[in-house]
Amino acid sequence: MLMRLVRDSARRGHIVLNDTDHPKESCGVFGVYGPGEDVARLTFYGLYALQHRGQESAGIATSNGKDFSLHTG
| 69 inside domain | yes
| 6 inside domain | no
**pTM value?**
0.43
Active site members: 27
| 33: nearest Cα among 55, 57, 58, 64 | 64
Q: How far apart are CA 37 and CA 17, in angstroms?
A: 21
Average pLDDT over residues 27-43: 82
Number of domains in the chain: 1
Average pLDDT over residues 56-72: 80
Position 49 pLDDT exceeds 70: yes
- Of all residues in the chain, what percent are helix, strand and coil, respectively (each to 5)? 40, 15, 50
| 11 inside domain | no
pLDDT of residue 27: 65
Average pLDDT over residues 41-61: 76
pLDDT of residue 2: 46
